[in-house]
Amino acid sequence: MTEHDVEVLAIGAGPANLALAVAMEESAGSDIAKNALLVEEHADVAWQRGMLLPWTQSQVSFLKDLVTLRNPRSKFSFVNYLHAVGRLDEFINLGTFTPYRQEISNYLRWVADSLSDVRVEYGRRAVRIAPTHNAAGRVDGWRTSFANGTALTSRSVSIGAGRDPRIPAELRNLPADQLVHSAEFSEKVAKLDAAGARRIVVVGGAQSAAELAWAAHQGFPEARVTMVMRSIGLKNYESSRFTNEIFYSSFIDDFHAAPEEARRQLLREMHLSNYGGLAPGMLETLYRQRYLERLTGGERLFLTTMTDITGSRTDGDDIVLSLKDRRTGLPSELRCDAVLLGTGFNSAMPRLIQDLTDSLGLQKTVVDRGYRLRVPDCDGASCFLQGVNEATHGIADSLLSVLASRAQDIVDGLLAERSGGRLLAEVG
C-alpha cells in the first residue's frame, strides 16, 4: 500500500462526518479510527451556523442523532449527551421530540470533543482534492490542499462539507453587505445598521425564509419586512406518518434500486416533506403576527406572493428590485435597504466535488449504493460523498435521519476496501 499521511480524511465536521467518526471509533476489532483525521474550516463545530437563532428547533426527532438508529447503546447518543451535561431531566420535562437547534449544535460539539481516536483539526478549509497515482497509473489515494497552503494525502476521503448557497442570478450584483444568505445570517445580521435598515426584503417561501423574516421582524422593530415568493403562499410541510416512512434508512435500498423515472416521481411528490414548506409552529406564528398587526393598524410584516424577481440594481443607498406579478404579468419595483435570502442551496454538486470529478476526467458525478464515487482504475482508494446524493439515495440524504446508517455503510466500505473486497457494490 502506498504510504499516505492518513488513511481516512473526512472533510467538514458537520453531522455527516461526525457520525462517520463515531462509527469508525465503534468499529469492533478495527483500528481504522486511529489513522483518521477530521478537518473543519471554522474554529469550532456548529450546526446550521448561519441560522443558530435562539428560538429555532430541529424538525427531526432527537432519536435520529449520530448513532442511535445504528447503536442505541452508544455513549455518543443525544440522550447520553444530555445526561453528561446535566440536562436530561429538563429535556424530558420539556416534552418534545424536536430539540432546539442550539442544543443539537452543542451536542455535535460535545461529540467532537469526546472522540478519543479520530483526530479533529480546525481552521483547515479544503480548496482542492486531486487523485494520486501509483506506478501503474491507477488512482491510489487523494491529495487535499487547504487554504492555508498546507496539503495532506489520504488513502480514502469523505466529503461532507455541504452544498453551496444558492444566490439567484438576478441578485448577484448587489453589494455584499446588503445581500445576506441564510447560511451567513448570524454573522452578517449584526453588521446591518439597525437604524438604517427600515425596509427589509426576504426572498423565499419556505422554512429558512420564514425564520429570516421573523428574525428580522423581531430584531429590527422599526423595519417593514416583506417576503417575496413565487408560490401562492406559505404552506405546511407534508409530515404525515405515512410520508415520514420515506425517511427510514431501510427506504434507501428501495429508492436506489428503483428506475430513474420512479426516483424522479418520488422526489417530486416528496418535495413538501423537506422543501417548500414550513413547520406548523412557524406558520402559526407568522399568521398570528399578521392578524394582530392588521387588528392594531401597525402592519410591518407583508407577503408578496406569485411574484418573480427579474432584476436588481442600486440607487444611492437603496436596493431596487424589479418584480413581475405571475398572475397579471405586470412589472413593478420594490425599494429596500437589505435583502435576505432564504433560497436554500444549489442542487448541483458543490464546487469542491465538481473540480475533483473534472480532475478525474469524469463526465458525471455518480456514487454507488455505498456512497463511493465511481472512479475507474482505482487501486485501494475511495472517495465518499455525503449529503449530496438525493437523486440516487432519496430526499433524506441531506437530513439527520440517515446519518447513523450511512456512517455504517461507509465504514463497511472502508473495511472492505482494506481487504480488497467491496460491500454495497455498485448497482446499475
What is the model's pLDDT at position 425?
42
Statement to judge: residues 66 and 121 lie in one domain = yes
DSSP 257-268: HS-HHHHHHHHH
Residue 359 belongs to some domain of the structure: yes
CATH number of the domain residue 99 falls in: 3.50.50.60
**Residues 6+ away with beta carbon under 8 Å from 27:** 33, 411, 415
Statement to judge: residues 75 and 90 lie in one domain = yes
What is the model's pLDDT at position 2?
59
Sign of the dihedral defined by the CA atoms of residues 4, 8, 14, 18, in that order: negative
Distance from C-alpha of 406 to C-alpha of 278, rounded to nearest angstrom? 27
Alpha-helix residue ranges (DSSP H) falling in 40-184: 78-84, 88-94, 101-114
Statement to judge: residues 173 and 160 lie in one domain = no
Contact criterion met (CB below 8 Å) for 288 and 280: no
CB atoms within 10 A of CB 312: 22
Statement to judge: residues 147 and 206 lie in one domain = no
Statement to judge: residues 230 and 286 lie in one domain = yes
3-state helix, strand, coil in the chain (%, to 5): 35, 25, 40
Distance from C-alpha of 221 to C-alpha of 300, rounded to nearest angstrom? 9
Statement to judge: residues 159 and 78 lie in one domain = yes
Contact criterion met (CB below 8 Å) for 53 and 101: yes
Counted domains in the chain: 2
Distance from C-alpha of 167 to C-alpha of 139, rounded to nearest angstrom? 35
Residue 306 belongs to some domain of the structure: yes
Residue 179 belongs to some domain of the structure: yes
Sign of the dihedral defined by the CA atoms of residues 369, 374, 377, 382, in that order: negative
Statement to judge: residues 374 and 333 lie in one domain = no
Q: Which of 341, 361, 380 is the last residue of a domain?
A: 341
Contact criterion met (CB below 8 Å) for 353 and 117: no
Residue 254 belongs to some domain of the structure: no
Domain interval for residue 175: 169-236+276-341
Statement to judge: residues 150 and 292 lie in one domain = no
Distance from C-alpha of 406 to C-alpha of 67, rounded to nearest angstrom? 10
**Which residue spans within 21-106 are E strands per DSSP?**
36-40
Distance from C-alpha of 427 to C-alpha of 12, rounded to nearest angstrom? 28
- Counts for the chain of helices (H) and strands (E), in that order: 13, 15
- Report in angstroms the alpha-carbon separations of 227 from 177, 202, 261, 300, 380: 19, 5, 34, 11, 51
Statement to judge: residues 288 and 149 lie in one domain = no
Q: Which of 341, 372, 390 is the last residue of a domain?
A: 341
Question: Cα 329–335–337 angle (5° rounding)?
Answer: 140
**Residues 6+ away with beta carbon under 8 Å from 125:** 41, 146, 147, 148
Residue 423 belongs to some domain of the structure: no
Mean pLDDT, contiguous 10-residue spans, the chain (428 residues) = 85 97 94 96 95 91 96 98 98 96 97 98 97 94 96 97 94 95 92 85 96 95 96 90 87 94 91 85 96 95 98 96 97 97 93 95 94 92 96 92 96 89 45
Residue 355 belongs to some domain of the structure: yes
Statement to judge: residues 54 and 150 lie in one domain = yes
Residue 14 belongs to some domain of the structure: yes
Statement to judge: residues 108 and 207 lie in one domain = no
Statement to judge: residues 321 and 351 lie in one domain = no
Q: Which of 341, 359, 379 is the last residue of a domain?
A: 341
Nearest to 270 by CA among 292, 240, 315, 234: 240
